[in-house]
Amino acid sequence: MNGAASGALLSVRDLAVTFDTYGRTAQVLDGVSLDVPARRHVALVGESGCGKSVTMRAIMGLLREPPARVTAGEIIFEGHDLLRLKPRARMGLCGTAMSMVFQDPMTSLNPVFTIGDQMRAILAHADRRLGRRRSRAERHARIIAVLGQVRMPDPERIARAWPIMLSGGMRQRVLIAMALLNEPRLLIADEPGTALDVTTQAQILRLLRELVQARGLALLMITHNLGVVREAADYVHVMYAGAVVEAAPAAALFAAPRHPYTRALLDCVPMLSGGGRFRGIDGAPPDYTSPPPGCRFAPRCAAAMPRCRTAPPAFPVGPDHRAACWLVEAA
Ligand SMILES: Nc1ncnc2c1ncn2[C@@H]1O[C@H](COP(=O)(O)OP(=O)(O)O)[C@@H](O)[C@H]1O
Ligand SMILES: [Mg+2]
């Protein structure tokens, strides 16, 4: 697995994001580092509220600033530091070379335009940014082709439909089609299909994986479904309270998790094969306006040492199995 600065398609380094609200500053991301190699499937997992969506939005340039502020870090995509590109150049990449599959199929589509109109707008916008000329007929052909790729029956009819006429699963397929329209190299998906029933969600995830594999795309997927991660991801990053605390090839992470938080997370997965029972992780994530001075997990960690409460452990750089934990360093 290729990672780090050694040619990853996307490298996020020490990304820090704060939110200013009601006169208080919440340090929501505090040193997020992750790598997505070309043509690999990378999963980002972690409890709700740990900053996964903020990370995705920061990568895509979709944070509203203010209240958000990117205070440190780098987001390198295909050699460009996105945080230092001119807005126009950045916009030229986001939505084209990298694009996002949105989470909630019920609210991510505009109810007053047909699917075809919305897809045409995305294509026209990208064509303008890239200085590409395409006729209306060419755009229409592209839309029909992509709707077919996401296995929509009768794409012509779907293009003429309004979102209200489609089921949740079909709307999620439309959102995937929209993300594929401009032939991205990186697809970012934030818990796709979580608003759907489990069977439809499983179909959506399978479709997404097949599409990504067939096209040789990289996929960065947020999910809290560790079963899916184990089955499909090449590489996993585990986030806790605004930072990546462990990164590893998926098989290595499941075989021998190193960070106490990752271990606790894996213990939470109920075992269907009997014996296992569901346990939560004791305690709650920290208040982002006054996080603990050392490791952010220390207050919930049964193995915490005095040092863990005073100094934050560093997250080593590299492509292999890594954990930001004093225990691992001491081992
Ligand atoms: N616009 C915002 N203003 C203030 N705080 C925010 C905003 N968006 C997200 N946050 C905070 O950032 C933290 C991480 O949120 P998020 O990235 O959505 O978590 P996740 O996707 O991992 O569930 C949460 O505590 C949330 O309250
Ligand atoms: Mg989220």
Pick the closest to residue 39 from 182, 196, 214, 175 (CA basis). Answer: 214
Whether the predicted pLDDT of 275 surpasses 80: no
Taking the CA atoms of 119, 120, 121 and 123 in sequence, report the sign of the dihedral they define: positive
Distances (CA, A) of 76 to 43, 58, 128, 203: 18, 12, 24, 32
Please report the pLDDT score of residue 106 as a whole number: 67
The three state secondary structure string of 128-170 is HHHCCCCCHHHHHHHHHHHHHHCCCCCHHHHHHCCHHHCCHHH
Q: Copy the structure tokens of residue 65.
A: 């600033």
In testing the pocket of ligand 1, which one of 53, 55, 63, 103 has its CB within 8 Å of the most ligand atoms? 53
Nearest CA to ligand 1 atom 3: 19
Task: Show the domains of the chain with their CATH numbers.
Answer: 10-97+184-330 (3.40.50.300)
> What does DSSP say about strands 10-21 and 243-249: parallel, antiparallel, or unpaired?
unpaired
Residue 250, Cβ density class (10 Å: 0-12 exposed, 13-18 middle, ≥19 buried): buried
- For residue range 25-49, list pLDDT tens digits in order: 999 999 899 999 999 999 999 988 8
- How many Å apart are CA 126 and CA 124, to the nearest integer? 5
8-state DSSP, 247: E
- For residue range 96-149, list pLDDT tens digits in order: 899 999 876 567 888 899 999 999 999 998 888 888 888 999 999 999 999 999
Q: What percent of the chain has pLDDT over 70?
A: 93
- For residue range 289-323, list pLDDT tens digits in order: 888 899 999 999 988 999 999 999 988 877 789 99
Among the residue ranges 189-193, 210-214, 219-223, the one predicted with the least confidence is 189-193
Nearest CA to ligand 1 atom 8: 54
- Answer whether 48 contacts ligand 1 (Cβ < 6 A): yes
Q: Which ligand places an atom closest to the C-alpha of 66?
A: 1
Global pTM value: 0.89
- Answer whether 22 contacts ligand 1 (Cβ < 6 A): no
* Spacing, Cα 48 to ligand 2 middle (Å): 7
CA 301 to chain CA centroid, Å, is 26
The position carrying tokens 């006169």 is 23
Q: pLDDT band at residue 330, thresholds of 50, 70 and 90?
A: low
Q: Which ligand places an atom closest to the C-alpha of 47?
A: 1
The position carrying tokens 């945080």 is 83
Whether the predicted pLDDT of 210 surpasses 80: yes
